[in-house]
Amino acid sequence: MLTNIGSDRVKSVRALSRRAVRERESLFLAEGPQAVSEVVAHRPDAVQNLYFEALERTGHAGTRQQAVLDVAAENGISIREVSHEVLVAMSDTLVPQGLLAVCRPIDVRLDAVLDENPRFLVLLTNVRDPGNAGTVIRGADAAGADAVLLSDSSVDIYNPKVVRSTVGSLFHLPIVAGVPIAVLLDRVRAAGLALLAADGSGDTLLGDIDLARPHAWVMGNEAWGLEPDVTAACDTVVRVPIYGKAESLNLAMAATLCLYQSAGVQNRPGIR
C-alpha cells in the first residue's frame, strides 16, 4: 500500500490537475467511482494506473468499488492500493471517494468520426466553463449523438471538472478536441452534414428544421454565443423558442433540447 504523500508518484499524479502537465505527460485524471467505473468498463486501454483506497466491503460504496476493481483486474489494468491521505493528495477533488485512475487521452481524430457516416453531432466552439462542456457531453451521450467535436478555443476536455461533470459520458462516445473551428466546419460540411448554428438570434425555430438529414449542431460561448463568421458559415441559424419571460436558456439546456430534437427525429422508423 502506498502511504507516502510526499513521494514523486503522488506529486506527479497531483500535477495532472494542471493543463500544462497534462499536455506534457499526455495523461489525465478520472476521479471517483462513476468516472473510474466507466473508463474501466468502456476504455480499459486508456487506463495507465488505477489507485484505490480500500473501503468497508460491506457497504454500498465498498461493493461498488470491488466491482470496479474486479473489472479492472479482468482487463489487465495495473492496480495499486493507497492510503486515504495519498488518494486525497493525488486528487483534484476533496472527496475522491476511494478511486482514481491516471488515463491516456481518449480523443479521436476527426477523420475517424466522419468515416463512420455520423447522423448527428455537436460541435462546441469557445466553450470555456468546464461544467458546461461536461454537461453538454453528457447530454450528447444521452441523446445518442455520434460524437462531440470541440474547437481548439474550447476548454480542455481533460480538465478534472470536465471529466467529473460528464459523469462517465466522456468514455461513451467519440470526442474530437483541439482542431481549429474553421477546419471543423469545412470538414464536417464536406462530409455532407448540414451545419446548424444554435443561437438566440436565429430566425428558424427548433421545431421547424429538417433533422432527418445528417447534421451538426454548432454551439458557442456560454455568455456571448457564436462568432459572426461561424454563424455565417452555417447553413441555418436555429433558435430554441422561449415561451415565457426568460431572456435565454443556458448552453447545456439549449444543447440538450436541440440534441433530443435530433434524437426524436433520427430514431423514428424509416430514418436511416
Contact at 8 Å (CB) between 79 and 72?
A: yes
Whichever of 120 and 158 has its CB closer to a second copy, that residue is 120
Contact at 8 Å (CB) between 187 and 180?
A: no
Q: Is 242 in the site for a second copy (CB under 8 A)?
A: yes
Q: Is 247 in the site for a second copy (CB under 8 A)?
A: yes
Instruction: State in angstroms the smallest separation of the CB of 203 from a second copy.
Output: 18
Q: What distance in Å separates the CA atoms of residue 98 and residue 144, rounded to the nearest whole number?
A: 30
What are the backbone angles phi and psi of residue 198, rounded to the nearest 5°? -100, 115
Among residues 5, 12, 21, 42, the one that binds a second copy under rule CB under 8 A: 42
Q: Is 97 in the site for a second copy (CB under 8 A)?
A: no
Whichever of 29 and 263 has its CB closer to a second copy, that residue is 263
Which residues have a Cβ under 8 Å from the Cβ of 202 and sit 6 or more positions away?
Answer: 236, 237, 238, 239
Could you tell me which residues are beta bridge partners of residue 148? 122, 175
Helix (H, G, I), strand (E, B) or coil at 94: coil
The residue among 189, 205, 203, 201 whose CA lies nearest residue 240 is 205
Among residues 94, 246, 269, 270, the one that binds a second copy under rule CB under 8 A: 246
Longest CA span, the chain: 61
Q: Is 264 in the site for a second copy (CB under 8 A)?
A: yes
The residue among 19, 37, 11 whose CA lies nearest residue 159 is 19
Q: Is 145 in the site for a second copy (CB under 8 A)?
A: yes
Q: Is 215 in the site for a second copy (CB under 8 A)?
A: no
From 53-61, 143-151, 190-198, 230-238, give the range in contact with a second copy by CB under 8 A. Answer: 143-151
Residues 166-185, interacting with a second copy (CB under 8 A):
167-169, 172-173
Q: Is 64 in the site for a second copy (CB under 8 A)?
A: no
Q: What is the dihedral of CA 152, 224, 118, 116, to 10 degrees?
A: 0
The site for a second copy, by CB under 8 A, has a size of: 36
Q: Is 148 in the site for a second copy (CB under 8 A)?
A: no
Among residues 91, 135, 151, 154, the one that binds a second copy under rule CB under 8 A: 135
Side-chain-side CA neighbours of residue 47 (13 Å): 30
Whichever of 236 and 260 has its CB closer to a second copy, that residue is 260
Point out which residues bind a second copy (CB under 8 A): 34, 42, 135, 138-145, 167-169, 172-173, 207, 240-250, 252-253, 256-257, 260, 263-264, 267
